[in-house]
Amino acid sequence: MAQQEKLVKEITSMKEDFAKWYTDVVKKAELASYSGVRGCMVVRPYGTALWENIRNELNARFKATGHENVMMPLFIPESLLQKEKDHVEGFAPEVAWVTHGGDEKLQERLCVRPTSETLFCDHYSEIIHSYRDLPKLYNQWCSVVRWEKTTRPFLRTMEFFWQEGHTMHETAKDAIEETERMLNIYADFAEQCLAIPVVKGKKTEKEKFAGAISTYTIEALMHDGKALQSATSHYFGDGFSKAFNIQFTGRDNTLQYPHQTSWGLSSRIIGAIIMTHGDDNGLVLPPAVAPIEVVILPIAMHKEGVLDKARQLKQRLAAGFRVKLDDSDNSAGWKFSEYEMKGVPLRLEIGPRDIVNNQCVLVRRDNMEKTVVSLDELEAKVTELLKAVRDGLFEKALRRREEMTYSATNLEELKDIADNRPGFIKAMWCGEQECEEKLKDIAGVSSRCIPFEQEQISDECVCCGKSAKLMLYWGKAY
C-alpha cells in the first residue's frame, strides 16, 4: 500500500520540467506505456477508452453530415504512391517500406500507409463514372506509420491512430465548402467537447499539406505556451483526379475531373487534452470524453449500509453517465489521489452520516470545489456540475491563451517575445517565404496559421519591413 501511495503522488511539477511532467502523467494515469518497438506506444485501456469516446463523438458528427466509414488497405504499392509527384515528395522521408514477403524479395516495394489519398483515388477511379455518383463522402478510422526520428507518446509516434476523411465532389465550390465545413466540425468538437479553445485559419504555402492547393487548420495553445496543430482539412482541387484519371460524365454530357478533399484528426489530440487541462496532480479530463464521468467512493464502507447505498447510486447514475464504483480496500486518501491523477471530472463521496441525511458530496476535479447534494436531486445536479466542469475548463484555457498571446511589430520585438514569453505571437507578414524561413531561423518560430479573423497589427512585415499583406499567428510548436 505504501508503494501505491507513493506512485500516485510521484509527478514532476510542470514548472520544474514540463516534458517530464507530461511523460509522468501519460504513464502514471495509465494512458500509455512505452513498447518494445522504437517510437511506438502501447495504448492502455484507460487511454483506449478516451480515444474511443473521442471517436464516438466525432463519428456522430461525420455521419450527421452524410459521411460513411470505409476501410482501406494498410499497404500502398510504390507505383501507386508515385502517381502524385508533390504528394510522394512530401512524405518520402517518413515512409516505411516493406521489401520482403517471407523469404522472397518483392518485385515492387510496398509502402506502409502514411496517409491514404492514393488508395482512395485508386478506388474512386473504379466507382466514379457520372455526376450521379457524386459526392463521395468517405472516412476511415485506422493507424498510419511515419518514420519519425524523435518521438513522444501521443504527440509524435511512428505509428499513430486517426481518422482520415477523403471526399470527391462535382465542383470546386462543393469541395471547398466541404473543406471548410469539416474544419468547423473539428473546431466545434475541440471547443464544445474537449473544452480546448482554437484558432481557425489557413496554412501558408510552405506549411500546407503535400499535394494540396490549400490547407486549413485549428491551432491550440498548450500550458507551456507551445502551439499544437490539432486537426487539418485540405482542398486538393482536381490534381489527384488527373493523376489517377478519375473522370465522370457531367450534367452537360462532357467528361470532367472531380474535386477532392481530405481531413483528419489524430490521437495527438489526447496530448492536447493533457497539456491544455492537466495540472500537477495529473490529468483533468473534459466530461464529454472522460472514460469515467463520476467515480463513487464509499467512505467507511465497512459500516453497515454504506456499500449497499453506493451500489444503489451507481445503478441510478449508470443510466445516464459513465460511472465507476471503487469498492477496493485501498484507503480513501489513495483513492482520492488516484482519481485526481486520472482526471475524473466528478467524485461522489457517500458515508454513514450522508446516508442519514439523504445526501452525498460531489467534488469537481477542475477546481476541487465540494457541493453537498440531496440524493433526491442527484441526477440533475450531476448533469449541472459536469457542464460546469466543461465550462470552467474552457474559460480557464481561453483566459490563459489570451494572457499568452502577444503582438509584435518588428523583428527585434518578435524575437524578444519568442525568447522570453512563450505563447502565440500575432504579427504582420509580407507573404514571402523568405521572411517565413528567416523568422524560423532567427526566432525559432513557425507560422501557425493565417487566421480567418484578420487584424491590422501594423502596415509593415514584421521581418523585412515591406508592405504587409496578412496577419499571422506565429509560435513554437509541437
* DSSP-assigned letters across all residues of 299-311: TTTTSTTHHHHHH
DSSP H helices in 318-351: 332-341
156 membership: H or E segment, kind and range? none
Q: Which residues of 176-206 are buried (b: 16+ CB within 10 A; e: fewer)?
A: bebbbebbebbbebbbebbbbbbbbbbbbee
Beta strands 255-256 and 259-266, pairing class: unpaired
Q: Is 156 exposed, middle or buried (0-12, 13-18, 19+ CB in 10 A)?
A: middle
pLDDT at 93: 84
User: Please, what is the average pLDDT of the chain?
Assistant: 95
Strand pairing partners for 227? 221, 477
Strand pairing partners for 477? 227
Q: What is the CATH number of domain 29-72+119-277?
A: 3.30.930.10
In this model, does residue 477 exceed pLDDT 90?
yes
pLDDT per residue as tens digits for the range 386-434:
999 999 999 999 999 999 999 999 999 999 999 999 999 999 999 999 9
In this model, does residue 55 exceed pLDDT 60?
yes
Q: What is the CATH number of domain 405-475?
A: 3.30.110.30
Q: Does a cis peptide bond (omega within 30 degrees of 0) precede residue 422? A: no
The 3-state secondary structure of 100-153 reads EECCEEEEEEEEECCCCHHHHHHHHHHHCCEHHHCCEEEEEEEEEECCCCCCEC
In this model, does residue 87 exceed pLDDT 80?
no
pLDDT at 10: 80
Mean pLDDT, range 188-199, rounded to an integer: 98
Backbone phi, then psi, for 392, in 5-degree steps? -65, -40
In this model, does residue 12 exceed pLDDT 80?
yes
Read off the C-alpha cell for 112: 506502409
pLDDT at 403: 98
Mean pLDDT, range 258-277, rounded to an integer: 98
Beta-carbon-side half-sphere exposure of residue 325 (alpha carbons within 13 Å): 18
Distance CA 411, CA 427 (A): 10
Distance CA 449, CA 457 (A): 15
pLDDT per residue as tens digits for the range 115-169:
999 999 999 999 999 999 999 999 999 999 999 888 999 999 999 999 999 999 9
**In contact, 32 and 152? CB cutoff 8 Å:** no
Read off the C-alpha cell for 468: 504587409
Domain boundaries of the chain, sorted by first residue = 29-72+119-277, 294-389, 405-475
- Which of 474, 382, 368 is CA-nearest to residue 427? 474
pLDDT per residue as tens digits for the range 293-339:
999 999 998 899 999 999 999 999 999 999 999 999 999 999 999 99
Mean pLDDT, range 358-380, rounded to an integer: 98
**In contact, 270 and 283? CB cutoff 8 Å:** no
In this model, does residue 6 exceed pLDDT 50?
no
Cell 473546431: give the residue. 187
Which residues are within 8 A (CB) of 183 and not within 5 positions of it... i.e. 6 or more apart?
Answer: 200, 216, 217, 218, 231, 233, 263
Residue 92's pLDDT band, with cuts at 50, 70 and 90, is confident
pLDDT at 9: 55
pLDDT at 219: 98
- The reply to whether the predicted model has a pTM over 0.85 is yes
Beta strands 199-202 and 159-169, pairing class: unpaired
Helix (H, G, I), strand (E, B) or coil at 237: strand
Read off the C-alpha cell for 198: 482554437
pLDDT at 7: 44
Helix (H, G, I), strand (E, B) or coil at 403: helix
Distance CA 73, CA 276 (A): 35
In Å, how far are 205, 238, 277, 281 from 212, measured between CA atoms?
A: 9, 10, 33, 42
Read off the C-alpha cell for 202: 489557413
Same topology between domain 294-389 and domain 405-475:
no
Topology of domain 294-389, per CATH? Rossmann fold (3.40.50)
Backbone phi, then psi, for 113, in 5-degree steps? -50, 125
pLDDT at 84: 74
Under DSSP, the state recorded for 459 is: S
